[in-house]
Amino acid sequence: MSKKLSNKDLKDWKNFVKSKDKVHSKDEVNKHSINKSKSTFVIDLHGFSLDQANEFVEKTINDCFEKEVSKLNIITGKGMRSKSAEDPYKSSELSILKHSIPEFINSNVELMKKIKNIDSTDEKNLGSFNVYLKSKNKFR
């Protein structure tokens, strides 16, 4: 492939390489800046296996609860690239993150104690849902 870079692309790349900004790993929630002043926190589960996603979601909900974040937006994707439809032994409806992650959260009693509401009815964005967390002060 011998496609030449545009001057703008070349300039952007040089600026990126010279920059001291760090690219954060999506695998570690501690690398994200969760703090009290941030009322909404967003995570993207693209590229995670089901087990990795469940573990990451559980850790993130617990961390956000501790930091008193009120809303967690979880991006699962729509499952358009899922290979489950090609395998007759897998359910194309239950093996994708958009269905299994809310089910995982709802079935986890300890997580549900920290959650006010899970809103997965957003018709505009079927590839994400919101988790509204209780205040740590009101937790019992």
- State the DSSP H helix or E strand holding residue 96, giving kind and residue range, or none if neither: none
pLDDT tens digits, 84-95: 555 544 444 444
Give the Cβ contact number of residue 129 at 10 Å: 20
What is the rounded CA–CA span in Å between residue 51 and residue 63?
18
CB 86 within 8 A of CB 70: no
Kindly list the domain boundaries of the chain, sorted by start residue. 26-138
pLDDT tens digits, 16-57: 787 766 555 555 544 444 544 458 899 999 888 899 999 999
Point out which residues pair with 119 in neighbouring strands: 130
Q: For 26-138, which CATH class? A: alpha beta
Q: How far is CA 80 from CA 9, 90, 96, in A?
A: 30, 15, 9
φ, ψ for residue 41, nearest 5 deg: -125, 140
CB 41 within 8 A of CB 73: yes
pLDDT tens digits, 57-106: 999 999 999 999 999 999 887 655 545 555 544 444 444 788 889 999 99
CB 61 within 8 A of CB 109: no
Cα 89 to its chain centre, rounded Å, is 27
**pTM assigned to the model:** 0.62
**pLDDT given for residue 119 in this prediction:** 87
What is the rounded CA–CA span in Å between residue 27 and residue 98?
18
